Amino acid sequence: MNMKKILIIIASLLLVTGTLFAATPVDSGTLNVYGLIGTGEVSFTVTGVTYDRVDLRNIAAVQPTGAGVQIGSWSMVAANQVAGTGYTVTYTYGPLVSGTNEIPFVILEINETPDPDVIEEQVTTATTALTMISGTNNPTRKIAFKLTSAGVTAAAGAPAANNYKSVVTIALSAD
């Protein structure tokens, strides 16, 4: 064989052999990979608006065919939600009361997200179901009230008073 060929073969063998030995680790170690998906924190805020006492007999907005008088709103922020997670908003309230006189009314829940607004009447202990999409959700609603037909009749026969009052409780629960 030619000396040149022998040198090339020896050089090639040394390179291959050196590469094989170089790939053998001298030592090794491990690393851990840690992850977290948050617990899906939820906050719910009910906020009242400032308004004057409403004339229950003479203000068109508070009559059964009126748009209602806004009394507040609620907002929810739900982070790290799994699609399909459900929550329920419950409205609990009684009639407007002054002494022994009671005037029935209904709560209006106004969702301004779609166009046009979606307005739903929420009678006492009525609920609104909310279904989350993946990620962060931020539903909000304005809250208004107006008299029922029975409320108009009761207001027509009720004595004058400036202290008719009702308390509306709006609660959020997880399904």
> What pLDDT is attached to residue 18?
54
Is the residue at 23 inside a domain?
A: no
pTM of the model: 0.77
User: Whole-number mean pLDDT of the chain?
Assistant: 88
Identify the domain containing residue 49 by its residue range: 42-174
Inside any domain, residue 15: no
pLDDT at res. 17: 56
Tens of pLDDT, residue by residue over 70-127, are: 999 999 999 989 899 999 999 999 999 999 999 999 999 999 887 788 989 888 888 9
pLDDT of residue 94: 95
Rounded to a whole number, what is the distance in angstroms from the first to the last CA of the chain?
86
Residue 90 domain flag: yes
Q: What is the share, in percent, of the chain residues with pLDDT greater than 70?
A: 89
Overall average pLDDT of the 11-20 stretch: 59
Say if CB 127 and CB 87 are below 8 A apart.
no
Mean pLDDT within 164-170: 96
In a domain? residue 34? no
Instruction: Give the pLDDT confidence score for residue 16 in this predicted structure.
Output: 57
Q: Can you give the CATH number for the domain in which 110 is found?
A: 2.60.40
Residue 162 forms part of a structural domain: yes
- List C-alpha distances in Å: 12 to 1, 19, 31, 79: 16, 11, 37, 61
The mean pLDDT value for 116-145 works out to 91
pLDDT in tens, 45-74: 999 999 889 999 999 999 999 999 999 999
Q: Look at residue 3 and tell me if it is in a domain.
A: no
For residue 71, give the nearest of 94, 90, 48 by alpha carbon: 48
Does residue 28 form part of some domain? no
